[in-house]
Amino acid sequence: MLLMGSCTAIYAFCLTFSQYILKWWTESNNPSPLLHGLVYFLLSSMAWIATNGTMWSTHIIIAARSGSTLHSRLLERIINAPLFYFSTHEIGTILNRFGQDIQLVDKEMPPAFANLSTQIFKLIMQSILLFVAQPAVAMTLPFCAICVYFIQQIYLRTSRQLRFIDLESKAKLYTSFLETIEGISTIRAFGWEDRIAINNIEKLDISQRPLYLLLCLQRWLNVVLDLLIAGIAVVLIGSAVRFRNTATGADMGIALNMVIAANTTLLRLVESWTNLETSLGAVSRLRSIDQDTPSEDEVCNCLEPSPEWPSMGSVKISDISAGYDSQVPVLRGVNMDIRGGSNVILSGRTGSGKSSLFLTLLQLLRPQSGTIEVDGVDISNMPVHVVRRRCFIAVPQDPFILPDASLRFNLDPYDQHRDDTIFEILSKTGLWSTISPSKIRDSSLSRTGNMIVPDTPNLDLLDQPLASLPPFSTGQRQIFAFTQALLRIRSSGQTDDIMISQPKPILLLDEASSSLDFETEIRMQEMLRYYFTNQGHTTIAIAHRLKALEKDMRPGLDTVVWMADGRPEEVGGYSGHILDTDVDGNHLD
């Protein structure tokens, strides 16, 4: 900041004072072109150096540091925000904070601050020269300052409102565009392309209206300031004609030049202040997110569990009620007691609370009342990252994959396993045949024609971005999630014998095989039984094809829970009649 202020002051002095050098040059009785030209060149060079110093300090130092700091803090806050935050805030508004607000901080605020500082110093220097050249005209400066004050009051008030409307309209445009991308398959299936395109174009037009009005307002400011400076110029010329013997031609030239230059300076001063105020508004919004967005770990006592926890995998759910907001609970007084090492199947109609119960176990959905204990420890008193990493292994129906990250990072983000362990699990799940070098070569040949792709070493394959490998189908993505789960329970470096690591996490399956064919589903179930069930891991699964699971149920140990209206409605075992019902609750003969 000190460097930028010094550079702007030097720039304003050199740029303005160089015009006074011309006055001395023209009035000199013994003009020395070399001396005056050298002084003029030195002042211009210093102004150029000061300009580079200002740009370097603002764009390289201030912009980089402020933008990086704010973006990191904002990203950390959003990542650690609880799930209900995203259900109560539009995704377009959140993206607008990362997009337009961060852009204002990166690209608008540092130049606006530098321009404001430059215009202030220039206006001071121009006022001094104007007072030296024509004191009578300088007396009009207080009147000009009063006029500019009232003009900027009108301009800033309207400009501030238009800037806010512009930001909000952009948020609605982003939301509409993201919803279009997410639902593109449905839009094409129903032939809604034209309607959705027109809707997005209308939102685009609406989002441009505030910007158009803002440009009109800026042109109004130009006209008003031009008229003000024109009036001062008329006064100056009238004074020169009326009092022709009171000032030299050089003084009148400097005064007239300063008056005209003051027009641009005043205009840039008001515009810089407006841009700075808008950028500071973006900083204020980002700070409000940093201060007002709750964090998942803020509500817990953050006790550190023992290294072997959980060792049994027993789960006790006591009177749990939870919801995505404080008004409507989706879980109502859930009570369950799950023994360690057992398999529990959750079933029920859509909206019965099955997935919400999983979210509550993972602490993504905070309970409004009740407790969840794993091996006798209340998980609400644990840091959420400890609960999710050590206590549960979740296999979702639609797994999350980072296409730009490497295959190794997607499979083993904590880098706990050796390459041969990863290849072993890939082979057992059947994914290796999909991503093997021969498959990559065949896929590349089909896309590139005559291009020949050489065999890729296994080590290089793991470090390749996932997007460069053959694309996964929906079923293969679910197999990929199974592979991640199997790697989670393998000890680092174990290659020959299977060694289940301690602690024993609980496996959560959310319709994890819904897109698999029958044979692949059977193979995945056998692997889960071998790696999890036979090793004493507790498994909680959401499933609808209950009859197909009957052969895997262990009498007296495994149970099926029928969920309805946010609570368990019926619990059955191996011989319970609940296995004879389909997802709609109809009896199966």
Beta bridge partners, 553, equal: none
- 202: Cβ contacts below 8 Å, ≥ 6 apart: none
Q: How far apart are alpha carbons 254 and 78 in whole angstroms? A: 56
pLDDT of residue 520: 85
Q: How far apart are alpha carbons 88 and 116 in whole angstroms? A: 38
Angle made by CA atoms 532, 533, 538, in degrees to the nearest 5: 85
Torsion sign over Cα 310, 316, 319, 322: positive
pLDDT of residue 249: 63
pLDDT of residue 197: 92
Instruction: Provide the whole-model pTM.
Output: 0.67
pLDDT of residue 449: 41
Q: What are the tokens at 213?
A: 């009005």
pLDDT of residue 493: 36
Q: How far apart are alpha carbons 473 and 517 in whole angstroms? A: 12
Provide block-wise average pLDDT over 10 residues at a time, the chain (589 residues).
Answer: 77 75 65 73 83 81 80 85 78 79 81 83 78 67 76 81 80 84 89 91 90 87 80 73 64 68 74 79 81 71 76 89 79 89 87 88 86 88 84 87 88 85 87 70 42 45 83 87 87 41 79 83 86 87 72 76 86 56 47
| 285 within 8 A of 109, measured Cβ to Cβ | no
E-strand ranges in 188-314 read none
- 417: Cβ contacts below 8 Å, ≥ 6 apart: 487, 490, 492, 493
pLDDT of residue 498: 43
pLDDT of residue 201: 92
506 sits in which H/E element = strand 506-510
Q: Go through the domains of the chain in sequence order and give each one's CATH number.
A: 1-291 (1.20.1560.10), 315-401+472-579 (3.40.50.300)
E-strand ranges in 330-382 read 331-338, 343-348, 367-374, 377-378
Distance of CA 217 to the CA centre of its chain: 32
Q: Count Cβ atoms below 10 Å from residue 414 Cβ, excluding itself.
A: 10
